[in-house]
Structure formats: C-alpha cells, structure tokens
Structure 1
Amino acid sequence: MEIEIATIGGYEEVGRQMTAVRAGDDIVIFDMGLNLSQVLIHDNVETEKMHSLDLIDMGAIPDDRVMSDLEGDVQAIVPTHGHLDHIGAISKLAHRYDAPIVASPFTLELVKGQIEGEQKFGVDNDLVEMESGETMQIGEECELEFVHVTHSIIDAINPVLHTPEGSVVYGLDKRIDHDPVLEDPIDMERFREIGREGEGVLCYIEDCTNAGRKGRTPSESVARRHLKDAMQSMEDYDGGIVATTFSSHVSRVSSLVEFAKDIGREPILLGRSMEQYSGTAERMGRVNFPDDLGMFGHRKSVDRAFKRVMNEGKENFLPIVTGHQGEPRAMLTRMGRGETPYDIENGDKVIFSARVIPEPTNEGQRYQSEQLLRMQGARIYDDIHVSGHLREEGHYEMMQALQPQHIIPAHQDMKGFAPYVSLAESQGYKVGRDLHVTSNGNTIQLVE
C-alpha cells in the first residue's frame, strides 16, 4: 500500500498545524489550526468574518492546496485537542472535504463553538465523538485509534492510523505526565504496545517545541504545588491579587479557583475565552467548580464584575483573567492600560501562571503588558507554570517506546527543528534517509 504524508501547516512555525496521511486511496487529515500571531499583528481582525483565501495569504491558516496532489478521498478530519493552533481553521477549511470531524468529547465541543461562531462559511461536516482507547474503521484496510496523552488542555489525544505497512503516529502536543490534576496519566503502555505489534510504527510525526531543553517536563501536579506555595505567601496581603493563565488550561484554572478560596478570596473568571473553556468543561462534568463561581465573558458583564470588586474591596477577590501573552484585547492588557474599572495600585500582585510562547509577536506583547503593569506599581510573579510539551528525555522515551522506522519533526521552524534532529541522529536516524526535515506544502512518500 502506498503511504504518503502531506506536511501542510506547522512545519515552518509554531501554529496553523495541518497534516494529511494517505494510505492507498484513503486520507486522514490531522488538525486544522490557526497561527494566532499572524492575526494579532493586525488591528481589529475578526477572523470569523474573513474568507479562507485571505487568511491563507496572511499566513494565518494552512494553505491546503497541496491536498489536490493526493490521489484519494478524505475519510476523517481529526483535531488532536482544543487549542486554536489545532482547531482554529476548521471553520474555514473543513467544508471543502466530504468527511466527518472526529474528536474526543471536550475537543468536539470546542470545535462546535468554532463552527457556531463562523460567519463566512457554512460547515455541515458530521461531528463524530470518539473517546481515547477507541478505534474507527478507515476504508477497507486501515483503522484510526485515539491514544490518551497529557497536555495543557484536557482530553488531548495522539491519533494513530494503523495501515498494512505499519502505524503512523501523529504525536503533536503532549508531555509524559504520570500525575496530572484532572484526568488520567498518559497511556505510555499503549504506545509501547503499538511500537511492537504488527508491522510496528512506520512513521512518527513529533512536536519539537522543547526538544532543546534538557531533562524531562515536570507534571502538572508540580505546577499546582508551585502555585499553592506562591498564593499562600500572599495570604496576609490586603491589596489586589490578579492571576492569569491559558484559558484553555482548565486544570490550572481549577487550581487557581481552589487556592483563592484557601486564602479567603472569591475567585472570578473574566474574559470571553476563560468563560468558554471553563464553562464548557463544567457543563460536561470535567471539572467541579464552586456553585457560586462567577464567569463573565462579555465586556459589560466583565466591567460590572470589576466594579463589584472595587466596591466590595480588592482584598476579597481573585480575578482570574485572560492576557497571559499580552494579547492586545485581553483582560489583563486592558487592565494595564487602565481601560477597566479595576485600579491596579502600588504593591498589587499579578500572577502569570504561564510562560510566554517563544515567538517574537508574543514576546513583544508580553513585555509591553508587564511594563504597563509595573508602571502602575504591580509586582509580577512570573513562570508559575510547567510546559505542555516534551523535553529531551521525553523525546528519548517516546522514540524508545515506538521505535519508528521514519520520523518527521513538526510544530516548529527550521531553527526549532535543529535540537530534535540532533537528538534523533544520536539514536541512529539520518536526515534524508529516515529523518525527514520538511516544510509546509511538501509531500513525503514513505511507501511506494
């Protein structure tokens, strides 16, 4: 059976992920993501109102024209998890393919939200829910499997396409976490089984984000302990405390909510995406928040919440807000610019339970946001966080588990690929033979 990989997006940047695997006459697409930094550098861009071709020209979503070179029919569109760099282009591109969108339950709910907010295209692809550990038939000879992984969002999976020539493992966005906060540990046992059953692993497509960092990525439970220690140190402070984190990181948000209560403050979630992710997780029973937890996304309701905080005393509340990357329209950035009713005063604490995404636009915006907050006297608590991506030792562990015949680095630019290439070469892989460094828009023929 011919096996071909189309590397469509996410092979020259961190963002707009999209990869297609053709096995014979059947094609599976993994991810359709947005490159948010390409949107943020433009003022007041509303992507939901824009045409896909304009967004492709901006470099904001994948240029999927290479799909016309693949001789086969798309059988499934499979987003791996609910981050925008993996689902943010579904509402712009999925309607081009006569195929269902297959995703884990939480991811599928977030995809529904993307589709419902779309104002340019009608997306009527079937939506199919599939749990980790389950499988789905693809054509007559292939099978799709979801393997549970741990990341900085719940319900993440690594999809595996089992073919007669071996398995193709799409390994983007995970860390090896044996003690997560809200869900099961990563299923390393299943990865080891896949590496040793049948024809083994034909190809492993891997996220290279932290490949240049030594050691292993700590567990989310480590970030939870770090956060608890920082917040307990503020227990006697009688001024304002504000926290920000990835709104999609429901595990971290739940820890912030819990520790706010522990130090005698009422947590409030503020920002549209904060309400969206946490509200969805709560409705699905994936997290247990206090019954009285306020979540506010719309501008007027957010401002009313801020006025209540100021009237009743900042010392009684912990606003948990969007804006950890300094995004121009996010809550924390607006607070830094003095555009909300919340007054930041000398000595107030701002907790960044997130690291800046290593990309120039984010780094510049985050720097500006922190400077605005410091100018008002805020004290910054930085990097109370653990990454959602594998470091060096995690990559070695995955290679050992899967023992892939071929490896394709992804989720980076050429500079970001370099540490992973060195790491793979140390394990006997060779560029041009079984280690394929590629770019957006290319195809790689694995089996002819």
Structure 2
Amino acid sequence: MEIEIATIGGYEEVGRQMTAVRAGDDIVIFDMGLNLSKVLIHDDIQTERMHSLDLIDMGAIPDDRIMSELDGDVRAIVPTHGHLDHIGAIGKLAHRYDAPVVASPYTLELVREEIDDEGKFTVENELIEMDAGGTMAVGDRCQLEFVNVTHSVVGAINPILHTPEGAIVYGLDKRIDHTPVVGDPIDLKRFREIGRDGVLCYIEDCTNANRKGRTPSESVARNQLQDVMHSMEDYDGGIVATTFASHIARVTSLVEFAEEIGREPILLGRSMEKYSGAAERIGAVTFPNDLDMYGHRKSVDRAFKRIMNEGKENFFPIVTGHQGEPRAMLTRMGRGETPYDLDNGDKVIFSAGIIPEPTNEGQRYQSEQLLRMQGARIYDDVHVSGHLRQEGHYEMLDALQPQHVIPSHQDMQGYSGYIDLAAKQGYKLGRDLHVSSNGNILQLV
C-alpha cells in the first residue's frame, strides 16, 4: 500500500496545524488550525466573516490546495483537541471535503461552536463523537484509533491510523502526566503496545524540544497556584488571575482556591464563558452552582461595577488576556478601559506561559508594563506546559520505536533539539528523520 504524508500547516511555525495521510485510496486529515498571531497583529479583524483564501494569504490558516495532489478520497477530519491552532480553520476548510469530523466529546463540542460562529461558509460535515480507546474503519483496510493523552485542555487524544504497512501516530499535542488534575493519565501502555505491533511513522510536537528535563504534572502547577494564592489570603485589595480559557483543570483550581481564601470567583471574557460552559455542558467538570461566568462586554462591565461597589477584597476575577491579546479583559484592565480600578499593590497572577512566538511575546510584555504602571504586582509563570520536554520525547521514541519520524509544531530553530535527540537514538536526517515544511508531500511507502 502506498503511504504519503502531506505536511500542510504547522511545519514552519507554532500554529495552523494540518496534516493529511494517504493510505492507498483513503485519506485522513489531522487538525485544521488557526495561527492566531497572524490575526491579532491586525486591528479589529473578524475571521468569521473572511474568505478562506484571504486567511490563507495572511498565513492565518493552512493552504490546503496541495490536497489536490493526493490521489484518494478524504474519509475523516480528525482534530486532536480543542485549541484554536488545531480546530480554528474547520469553519473555513472542512466544507471542501465530503468527510465527517471525528473527535472526542469536548473537542467536538468546541468544533460545533466554531461551526456555529462561522459567518462565511456553510459547514454541514457530519460530526462523529469518539472517546479515547475508540476505533473506526477507514476504507476497507485501515482503522483509526484514539489514544488518551494529557495536555492543557481536556479531551486531548493522539489519533493512530493503522495501515497494512504499520501505524501512523499523529503525536500532537501532549505531555506525559501520570497525576492530572482533571481526566485520566496518558495511556503509555497502549502506546507501547502499538510500538510492539509496528509504527511506520511518528509525527511529533516539538514545542518544547529544546528544553532539557521533563515537563512536570499539572498537579505541580496546582500546588504552585495554591501556595501563591494562600500567600495573598490576608491582602485586602484586588487580586486578579488569568490563564488559558481552555485549561479547564487550571480554571477549576483557581475557582477552588479563590473560595479557600474567602473570595468569590467570577469567570470573565468571551472565551472563558465558551470553554468552561462547554466543559460543564458535557460533564467534563462540575463547577459550583453559584459560579458566575460572563462573556459579552456589557455583562463583563456590569460584573466589574459590582466588584467595585461591593469591594475588590471580596472577589477573585479570572479573566482572559494571558498572552496580552489586545481585546482581552486583562489588557483592557491594564489600559484602564473597564470599570475595574487597579490600585497600587493589587495582585495579578499569570497562570500561563508565553506561547513562543514574537507577536505573543511583544503583546504580553506590553500588557505587563501597562499593569505595572498602575501599581500591580505581577506573579508570573505560575504554570506548567502542556508539551513534552526532551525526556518526554525520549520516552515516546522508546515506547513507539517508529521507522520514520517527522517533527512538527515549530520552526527550524525549534526543531534543533529534537533532531539532536532523535539522532542520538539512531535516526538520520534524510533517511528516516524528515524535517519538512508547509506544502510538502513525503512518500514513505
């Protein structure tokens, strides 16, 4: 059986992931993502109303026109998890393919919201829910399997395409977490079984591949957060926190520790309402019955006014803006554009790292400077990453023993640590270690 892999997006940057695997006459697409930094650099762009070709020209979504060079039929579109760099282009591209979108329950709920928000195209692809551990046939000779992984969003899986030539393991995005705060640990046992059966190719997320050591568990971040928040228990001013809205485990910890220190948590910002609301609807998490969450600007401002009227010392706003996004809540607070007044000594907790991309780094720096100018005290990087460091990469290569390896989710500089690590495990560039770029097709068999 001929096996080809099209590296469509996410092979020259962090963002707009998309990969297609052709096994004989059958094609599976993994991820359809958005590079948010290409959007945020412009003022007041509404991607929902833009044409896909304009977004492709901006470098915001994958250029999937190379799909015409693959000789087969698309059988499934498979997003690995609900982050925008993996599902943010589904509203723009999925309708081009007569294929269902197959995803875990939480991811599929977020895909539905992406489709509902789409204002340019009508997306009528069938939506199929499949849990980790589930399988489905792809054509007559292949099978798709979901393996549970741990990441900074619930419902993350690594999809496996089983072919007569061996398994194709699409390894984006994960960390090896044996003690997650929400959800089940990574299923390393199943990865080892797949490795023993034979892996033709492993496509790997290299976000942290240049960092030594092992990525800590989310339980470590939870302990850090608890320590930071309890250190503020006697402070009688404002305390504000920000994190990834999709990081439900972290949001859960923030809500719990806010109540422990005697403050009422409130989730503020459109994406906070979106991701937490979706998690609650499908039963992935249970929040307190009296937890308020507001997404629309007027509702958020009313909540801020209530906080100011009743006393900042009684509340714990959890807001969007961890990357310094221009229109997010925390950035607006730093610019003095909300009814919430930051005073000298108020605390701001960034329970999030900076996504390693120049636009994010610049916006985050600006946001922190605006907050400091108002007297805020910054608590930075109360966080653990959702991506493997070098020892995690070593462990996955050891478990899977793939014939071929394709690094992804980085630029050329970001691949360097992974290339060195793989070379030490016997892989050789150009032979079985393939550094690709967007728009390439690699023929493995």
TM-score (norm. length: structure 2)? 1.00
In the alignment, what sits opposite 1:329? 327
Report the Cα distance in structure 2 between the residues aligned to 1:443 and 1:312, rounded to whole angstroms: 60
What's the secondary structure of 2:102's corresponding residue? strand
* 1:126 match: 126
User: Hey, what's the Cα distance between the residues in 2 that align with 1:41 and 1:245?
Assistant: 21
Query: What is the identity, as a one-letter code, of the residue corresponding to 2:165?
Result: E
Matched, 1:307 2:305: yes
Inter-partner Cα distance in structure 1 for 2:27 and 2:282: 31
Residue pairs, 1:242-257, within 5 angstroms: 242-257=240-255
Matched, 1:48 2:34: no
Deviations, residues 395-426 of structure 1 (Å, cap 9, x unaligned)? 00000000000000000011111111111001
Cα distance in 2, alignment partners of residues 42 and 12 from structure 1: 21
C-alpha deviations, 1:68-117, integer Å up to 9, x for none?
Answer: 00000000000000000000000000000000000000000000000000
Structure 2: tracts of 5 or more residues without a match: none
TM norm structure 1 = 0.99
Instruction: Please state how far the C-alpha of 1:283 moved relative to its aligned partner.
Output: 1.4
Deviation per residue, 1:169-221 (Å, 9 max, x gap): 00011000000001100000000000002xx0000000001011111000000
Superposition pairs of residues 56-205 of structure 1, within 5 angstroms: 56-197=56-197, 200-205=198-203
SS at match of 2:427: coil
Structure 1 residue 230 and structure 2 residue 206: aligned? no
SS at match of 1:140: coil
CA offset at residue 389 of structure 1? 0.1
Q: Deviations over 1:317-357 (max 9, x none)?
A: 00000000000000000000000000000000000000111
Distance 1:418 1:396 in 2: 14
- Superposition deviation, residue 298 in structure 1: 0.1
Is residue 374 of structure 1 aligned with residue 372 of structure 2? yes
Aligned counterparts of 1:358 and 1:437: Cα–Cα separation in 2 = 20
Cα distance in 2 for residues equivalent to 1:291 and 1:303: 22
Instruction: Tell me the distance in 1 between the aligned counterparts of 2:419 and 2:121.
Output: 39
Cα deviation, 1:259-302, whole Å, max 9, x if unaligned, reads 00000000000000000000111111111111000000000000
What is the one-letter code of the residue matched to 1:416? G
Conservation of the 8 A alpha-carbon contact between 2:243 and 2:352: yes
Between the aligned partners of 1:141 and 1:357, the Cα distance in structure 2 is: 39
2:337 equivalent in structure 1? 339
Aligned residue number for residue 417 of structure 1: 415
Runs of 4+ in 1 over 2 A off after TM superposition: none
Structure 1: distance between partners of 2:217 and 2:437: 32
The amino acid of 2:13's aligned partner reads E
2:424 is aligned to: 426
Match of 1:292 among 286, 290, 293: 290
Structure-2 separation of matches of 1:369 and 1:154: 28
**3-state SS of the aligned residue for 1:326?**
coil
How far apart in 1 are the matches of 2:211 and 2:420? 12
- Runs of at least 5 residues in structure 1 that lack an aligned partner in the other structure: none
The CA distance in 2 between the partners of 1:48 and 1:322, in whole Å, is 20
Q: CA deviation at 1:5?
A: 0.1
- TM superposition shift of 1:151: 0.1
Whole-Å separation in 2 of the counterparts to 1:286 and 1:80: 17
Matched, 1:354 2:372: no
State the alpha-carbon separation in 1 of the partners of residues 77 and 354 from structure 2.
30
Task: Choose which of 433, 442, 445 in structure 1 pairs with 2:443.
Answer: 445
Counterpart of 2:406 in structure 1 is: 408
**Paired residue type of 1:273:** S
The answer (yes or no) to whether the contact 2:349–2:379 under 8 Å persists in 1 is: yes
- The CA distance in 1 between the partners of 2:78 and 2:417, in whole Å, is 28
Tell me the secondary structure at the aligned position of residue 137 of structure 1. Answer: strand
Q: Percent identity, aligned pairs only?
A: 80
Distance 2:361 2:212 in 1: 22
Q: Is the 8 A contact 2:210 2:415 kept in 1?
A: no
2:34 — aligned with what? 34
Query: Contact 2:146–2:160 at 8 Å: present in 1 too?
Result: yes
- Secondary structure class of the residue paired with 2:137: strand
Does residue 17 of the first structure (1) align with residue 17 of the second (2)?
Answer: yes
Counterpart residue type for residue 188 of structure 2: M
| In structure 2, distance between residues paired with 1:239 and 1:83 | 34
How far, CA to CA, are the matches of 2:281 and 2:403 in structure 1? 42
Residue number in structure 1 paired with 2:205: 207
2:257 alignment partner in structure 1: 259
- In 1, distance between residues paired with 2:114 and 2:280? 18
Answer yes or no: is the 8 Å Cα contact 2:136–2:145 preserved in 1: yes
| Letter aligned with residue 184 of structure 2 | D
- Cα deviation digits, residues 352-411 of structure 1 (max 9, x gap): 000111110000000000000000000000000000000000000000000000000000
CA contact (8 A) 2:101 2:128 kept: yes
Q: Match of 2:444, SS? A: strand
Q: Report which stretch shifted further, 295-304 or 280-289.
A: 280-289
Alpha-carbon offset, residue 251 of structure 1: 0.3
